[in-house]
Structure 1
Amino acid sequence: MNPYQHKKRWKYLLLFFAIIIATSSLWYTDFLVKGISKSERTRAEVWSQSLKKLFATDNDEMMNYLFTVKDSLIVPAIVTDDKDSITVYTALDTTKTYYKIEKDKIYDPRYFQRQLRIMKSQHDAIVIEMNGKKNYVYYKDSDLLSQLRVFPYVQLSVIAFFLLIAYTTFNSSRRAEQNQVWVGLAKETAHQLGTPISSLMAWIELLKDKFNAERDPLILQMEHDVRRLEIVADRFSKIGSMPILTNHPIYQTIKDYVDYFSIRVSDKIEFTVTGDEQQEALINIPLFDWVIENILKNAVNAIDGKGKISVNIIENIVKEQIFVDITDTGKGIPKSKFEAVFQPGFTTRKRGWGLGLSLTKRIVENYHNGQIFVKESEIGKGTTFRIIIKSSLNYVPTIK
């Protein structure tokens, strides 16, 4: 399993456990709410019956007992007659049942009607008979029960917000540390390559002089490869620094690299480059060559045996952009993986590191302020990557 898939599996596993924890919390809270709600219903029924008995007895001791029971089981309740007129109420907010006009307290019917609507929406009425007539007892949830209903959602929201902030902070810190390590490693690699490359160039010059082989094709290829090593070292030295973007003929830049690359892979793969040869783009050649190299390598790996790789350069005059479409006739990429292929660690090869396209995206977006994405792909037929870069000298890049 490659690192990207391993990390993805862990994310799904953690998400699964988070859902289990959240679901368990909500289920247990719902269990408690139902239990308390049932208890309050029982209290409301006992209160209703005690109220009924009070209206039906003249015994003072019994009345005192019923008052004690009724008051101990008090819930916010309203009793109405069969015409929906309020006859009795209890445990409502005494600061809102009346409003003051100067020194007088005036009954506020709007408050009672609002409370009655709430009670009707929450619970079915309890029917009791008093004085030979049917009365209806309505009650509402206690403050404790109302708070308990929303508590788990508030709790989970606070925990989720805290975890999001913590994840963002730690992830940002971890990425900053990783970037520092990679930048340091890249620059040290460039520094270490400098000495042997200079030595190789010197040995090639000695071979030319000793054997009078200025035009020997083998030595010329060796020289070409050493110069490529110089370019690679230069690429690594530029990581983490602001690159200088200058106008270059984009067609010739790509064509030169494709010519170099094509003779170093299977001759069963055909390469073509098309586009306006005079069109210029704002690029840094060593870094942009790296972009083309990574995409071509992926294209070659995707082709099983014979195939074609084509590069088409298109100008968008309106937006001062240049599109570079690189198409292969390889295996293709599932649509679900269009974004994933640019993630660090994503690879379909057993010994791949999964860093090529991730690095390519960084170079295009951060250093050239462009875009790169999978334009289209079909399994078994091939893939097209599109690179969008600037063609205007007025553009000033910024590192993210």
Structure 2
Amino acid sequence: MKQHPYRYNKQQWKFLLFIFAALIAAASLLYSNYLVKSLSLSERTKAQVWAMSTKSVVSMPDVDDEFISFIFAVRDSLSLPAIITDQNDKIILWRDLDSTKTAIEDSTSTLEYDPVYFEKQLNQMKKAHPAIELSLDTNEKWFVYYHDSKALKQLRIFPYIQLSLIAFFLAIAYTVFNSIRDSEQNLVWVGMAKEAAHQLGTPISSLMGWLELARVTYEPKDDTLLNEMERDVQRLEIVADRFSKIGSTPSLSNHVVYGIVEDYVNYFKIRTSKRITFELTGDQHVEAKLNVQVFDWIIENLLKNAVNAIEGEGKITVNISENIAKEEIFIDISDTGKGIPRSNWETIFLPGFTTRQRGWGLGLSLTKRMVYYHRGQIFVKDSEIGKGTTFRIVLKSNLRYEPTQI
């Protein structure tokens, strides 16, 4: 399998850009984690200082007021949600928690609190950080638990929010620029296709004139050769007309599918190796809305693809059937060629993908586009290495819809 060099280089650049973006994201996250750890250590130090200052107030009741004021100033400067408990998890002190969950009874001067709220906060603090242990002079032990500050919590999630927003912006920008680029490329291809059709017009007209002159001048007894040459020139006219319709909206009309396919198969098989046989079977009466020239192009691409897949002798079968319940028409084109690996069943429809040494890899991608124009589907129905492949086209019978551009 090979891909067109342009597509290969494009994929390489995408891969390199993805690696570069991943490295930037990783570096950002690593640096943010470093800052989070540093701030976390700083906050634990604050919690320890608060715990020690609280211990000092409790353990030294006889110190002068000035020293007590200093201790309170140090303690109150360390703003951090925290709870102190004894060895039995009884809450003794707390700070910077929801003031609506606490109250002071003036008559008894005792603190009361919402037990459910404080139990929840205490459990969260226990999970967040190891306790800071305080040993009192009375041989009791207190345990200090604390929450991260709001700044630290925000710093933990900020890199992910930042990277998500950047990724979202880049995705939108990539989509918009891709759309603009594709639109520009489509205009170029449409212009080239119409110019090719225009350039083919003159020599095709000349060939038709030369054929007519040959008939009149030489009066051949057997016109078979000239008739086939004329069919080829007419085919060139159809090809030129196809290219002229690219970028426009061709009309659709009801046609018997079997007859359209049969006409092209009869034209195609006499221009193919005699070692390859053709068989057309199925329902001869189902109708669908088609543009004959565009639909012929679909069948042509699939038959050429089938011929290229066959090495030596082989058979190509076209079967037309109808699913009346779903109002669908199935066109199955099977060959006895080399088959397609299952991993490539979707890939083969991408522009630039080809298994041939020469080729642009545009046949099946263009075919899919033309089937979509008919509001149909095309996919690999079945394939086995060494035994062959079956492509299925699904069309709606007598479908009514507004067509789009090819």
Segment of structure 1 superposing worse, 288-297 or 21-30: 21-30
Q: Match of 1:313?
A: 320
Determine if contact 1:251/1:278 at 8 Å carries over to the other structure. yes
Counterpart pick for 2:15 among 12, 25, 31: 12
Normalised to the residue count of structure 1, the TM-score between the two structures is 0.90
Q: For the residues of structure 1 that align with 2:383 and 2:28, how far apart are their CA atoms? A: 44
Please give the residue correspondences for 1:142-153 in structure 2 after superposition, counting only pairs within 5 Å: 142-153=149-160
Q: Match of 1:231?
A: 238
Which of structures 1 and 2 has the larger relative contact order (alpha carbons within 8 angstroms, sep 6+)?
A: 2
Please tell me the residue identity of whatever aligns with 1:124: P
Q: 1:158, CA displacement in angstroms?
A: 0.2
Q: Match of 1:82?
A: 87
Q: 1:329, CA displacement in angstroms?
A: 1.8
Q: For the residues of structure 1 that align with 2:16 and 2:270, how far apart are their CA atoms? A: 46
Q: For the residues of structure 2 that align with 1:214 and 1:69, how far apart are their CA atoms? A: 118
Please give the residue correspondences for 1:252-291 in structure 2 after superposition, counting only pairs within 5 Å: 252-291=259-298
Segment of structure 1 superposing worse, 80-89 or 195-204: 80-89
After TM superposition, where is structure 1 displaced by more than 4 Å over at least 4 residues in a row? 93-99
Q: Check 1:200–1:323 CA distance in 2 against 1; reply closer, same or farther (3 A cut).
A: same
Determine if contact 1:371/1:389 at 8 Å carries over to the other structure. yes
Please tell me the residue identity of whatever aligns with 2:256: P
Segment of structure 1 superposing worse, 64-73 or 380-389: 64-73
Q: 1:95, CA displacement in angstroms?
A: 6.8
Counterpart pick for 2:374 among 368, 376, 381: 368
Secondary structure of 1:330's aligned partner: coil
Deviations 1:235-256 (A, max 9, x none): 1122222222222222221122
Counterpart pick for 2:97 among 67, 75, 92: 92
Q: Match of 1:303?
A: 310
Q: For the residues of structure 2 that align with 1:43 and 1:67, how far apart are their CA atoms? A: 14
Q: 1:225, CA displacement in angstroms?
A: 0.6
CA RMSD of aligned residues (A): 2.3
Secondary structure of 1:136's aligned partner: strand
Q: For the residues of structure 2 that align with 1:21 and 1:338, how far apart are their CA atoms? A: 35
Q: For the residues of structure 1 that align with 2:402 and 2:371, how far apart are their CA atoms? A: 11
Segment of structure 1 superposing worse, 230-239 or 17-26: 17-26
1:211 aligns with 2:218: yes
Q: Check 1:189–1:97 CA distance in 2 against 1; reply closer, same or farther (3 A cut).
A: farther
5+ residue gaps in structure 1? 100-105
Q: For the residues of structure 2 that align with 1:121 and 1:264, how far apart are their CA atoms? A: 79
Counterpart pick for 2:43 among 27, 40, 43: 40
Q: Match of 1:116?
A: 122
Determine if contact 1:369/1:397 at 8 Å carries over to the other structure. no
Query: What is the number of residues matched between the two proteins?
Result: 392
Q: 1:208, CA displacement in angstroms?
A: 0.4
Counterpart pick for 2:28 among 21, 25, 37: 25
Determine if contact 1:368/1:397 at 8 Å carries over to the other structure. no
Q: Match of 1:54?
A: 57
Please give the residue correspondences for 1:372-387 in structure 2 after superposition, counting only pairs within 5 Å: 372-387=378-393
Secondary structure of 1:33's aligned partner: helix
Q: For the residues of structure 1 that align with 2:220 and 2:326, how far apart are their CA atoms? A: 50
Deviations 1:69-102 (A, max 9, x none): 4344442211122343322122335576569xxx
Q: 1:62, CA displacement in angstroms?
A: 4.9
Segment of structure 1 superposing worse, 300-309 or 352-361: 300-309
Secondary structure of 2:227's aligned partner: helix
Q: 1:275, CA displacement in angstroms?
A: 1.1
Counterpart pick for 1:340 among 347, 356, 364: 347
Deviations 1:274-323 (A, max 9, x none): 11223322211110110011111112222222222111111111122211
Q: 1:108, CA displacement in angstroms?
A: 5.1
Q: Match of 1:176?
A: 183
Segment of structure 1 superposing worse, 146-155 or 191-200: 191-200
Q: 1:218, CA displacement in angstroms?
A: 1.9
5+ residue gaps in structure 2? 105-110
Q: For the residues of structure 1 that align with 2:331 and 2:319, how far apart are their CA atoms? A: 6
Q: Check 1:18–1:97 CA distance in 2 against 1; reply closer, same or farther (3 A cut).
A: farther
Q: Match of 1:128?
A: 134
Q: For the residues of structure 1 that align with 2:170 and 2:229, how far apart are their CA atoms? A: 55
Segment of structure 1 superposing worse, 245-254 or 90-99: 90-99
Please tell me the residue identity of whatever aligns with 2:17: L
Deviations 1:157-216 (A, max 9, x none): 101110111111111122222222222222222222122211211111111011113742
Q: Check 1:143–1:318 CA distance in 2 against 1; reply closer, same or farther (3 A cut).
A: same
Q: Check 1:274–1:289 CA distance in 2 against 1; reply closer, same or farther (3 A cut).
A: same
Q: Match of 1:103?
A: none
Normalised to the residue count of structure 2, the TM-score between the two structures is 0.89
Q: For the residues of structure 2 that align with 1:280 and 1:205, how far apart are their CA atoms? A: 36
Q: Match of 1:158?
A: 165
Q: For the residues of structure 2 that align with 1:279 and 1:304, how far apart are their CA atoms? A: 33
Q: For the residues of structure 2 that align with 1:280 and 1:149, how far apart are their CA atoms? A: 64
Segment of structure 1 superposing worse, 41-50 or 284-293: 41-50
Q: 1:262, CA displacement in angstroms?
A: 1.7
